[in-house]
Structure 1
Amino acid sequence: MIQTERLTLRPYTVADYDAYAAMVADPIVVRHAGAPMTGEEAWMRLLRFIGHWSVFGHGLFAVLDRTTGQYLGETGFMDFRREVATRLDTMPEAAWVFTRAAQGKGYAHEAAAAAHRWMDEHHAPPATQCMISPANQASIRLAEKLGYRPHDRPQYRDQDVYRYLRLTENRAERLGRHED
């Protein structure tokens, strides 16, 4: 579990189903990531997220209001194995999605920054990636704040996406030392 000034981040549980299903059924929330999900699709995805922690030791965190416990969204890292032309399977992929009510309040940055620190400290990947719809300007700004830089523009499910890469601080420091 991670706590920030306003948030609690913890792995998903089946008790999160109702809140998660409501978020991914909202067409405004998922407009840059596909169609709204049915309850069945949300259930299967939630189970996948829970299992990811067992296999990889990391995954998506449910993000909750630290005071009220209200579900606000999710952030973390997954091994999605996306079918794109240039695959980066060995690199964890960052993700974040927040409920409509939680958007525009700085929660995404606060939560994602905490999740990135946790990932760097506990798993120390040399780099991480994220894929974002070109129309999702809020996510592009967040990725850039988190240190991501444009890498390429692959197609995913017949849609153009931007893929961003971020060297972890440990990797950036090692690269810096080798340049001297």
Structure 2
Amino acid sequence: MIETENLRLRRPEIGDLEAIHAMRSDLAIVRFLGGRALNREEAWHRLTRIVGHWALRGYGMFAVVEKRSGALVGEVGLFDGCRGLSPDFDNAPEAGWILAGEAQGKGYAGEAAAAAHRWFAAAHGEQRSVCIIAPENLASFRVAHKLGYKSFGQVDYQNGPVVMLERIPG
């Protein structure tokens, strides 16, 4: 488990299903993630995919728990998305962050993502990482820039453009 000032980051657990479903079925939250709400079965598949990623890669998305409330308020971490976007993108760990509506605007995404990146570097060594962000997702761009990500191209993904960003340690 990773602790920050306001959050705990831990591996996802079976009890996280309802919170993941609530977050991933909120159209305001998923509008930049393909724009489609997940039903409960798809949320279950999301949870099992995250858990399986940890088993296969030794890293993945953390469940983000707010210390004050004890509520699961997001998913943050690094993973291998196998997206097929380009060799420059697909050959690096991909960072991602998603927060429930009640957790947005508090700085939690940056706090959690910075902690996840520090953990990843300690566990797997400093290395280049990537992320994709929809051009209109300004809040996510702010987080990415605080983490040191810089744009290196744009591609179409899931019926819309996304900006590819990279973070080169050093």
When normalised by structure 2's length, the TM-score is 0.95
Q: Matched residues in 2 for 1:31 and 1:89: separation? A: 23
Query: Distance between the aligned counterparts of 1:38 and 1:156, measured in 2?
Result: 22
1:125 CA drift (Å): 4.3
**AA paired with 1:19?**
A
Deviation at 1:96, TM superposition (A): 0.2
Q: Which moved more, 1:78-87 or 1:66-75?
A: 78-87
Letter of the 1:146 counterpart: L
Which residue of the partner structure matches residue 154 of structure 1?
Answer: 155
Contact 2:84/2:90, CA 8 A, preserved across alignment: no
2:33 corresponds to: 33
Give how far 1:85 is off. Answer: 4.3
Q: Distance in 2 between matches of 1:88 and 1:152?
A: 10
| Whole-angstrom CA distance in 1 between matches of 2:85 and 2:42 | 22
SS at match of 1:29: helix
Q: Would the aligned equivalents of 2:89 and 2:164 in 1 still touch at CA under 8 Å?
A: no
The one-letter code matched in structure 1 to 2:81 is F
Query: In the TM superposition, what whole-angstrom CA distance separates every residue of 1:28-81 from its partner, at most 9, and x where no partner exists?
Result: 011111211111111101100001101100000000012331111110011011
| Structure 2 partner of 1:17 | 17
Aligned letter for 1:38?
A: N
Partner of 1:167: 168
For 2:27, what is the secondary structure of its paired residue?
coil
Q: Is contact 1:52–1:59 with CA below 8 Å preserved after alignment? A: yes
Instruction: Give the match for residue 105 of structure 1.
Output: 106
Residues 32-111 of structure 1 aligned to structure 2 (within 5 Å): 32-34=32-34, 35-86=36-87, 88-111=89-112
Which range moved further: 104-113 or 67-76? 67-76
The 2-side partners of 1:28 and 1:79 are apart by 25
Distance (Å, rounded) in 2 between the aligned partners of 1:17 and 1:87: 33
Structure 1 residue aligned with 2:128: 127
Greater than 6 Å deviation, 4+ residue runs: none
What code does the residue aligned with 1:122 have?
Answer: A
Match of 1:58, SS state, is: coil
- TM-aligned CA distance change 1:48 to 1:21, over 3 Å: same
Deviation per residue, 1:109-157 (Å, 9 max, x gap): 1111100111111111420000000010100111000000011101112
Number of the residue aligned with 1:3 = 3
Corresponding residue of 1:178: none
Residue type of the partner of 1:11? R
* Aligned residue pairs, count: 169
Moved more, 128-137 or 76-85: 76-85
Instruction: Answer yes or no: is the 8 Å Cα contact 1:91–1:125 preserved in 2.
Output: no
Which stretch has the larger CA shift, 63-72 or 112-121? 63-72
Q: Which blocks of at least 5 consecutive residues in structure 1 are unaligned?
A: 173-180
Q: Any conservation in 2 of the 1:73–1:96 contact (CA below 8 Å)?
A: yes
CA deviations over 1:84-125 (Å, ceiling 9, x no partner): 245532200000000000000111111111001111111114
Which structure has the larger Rg? 1
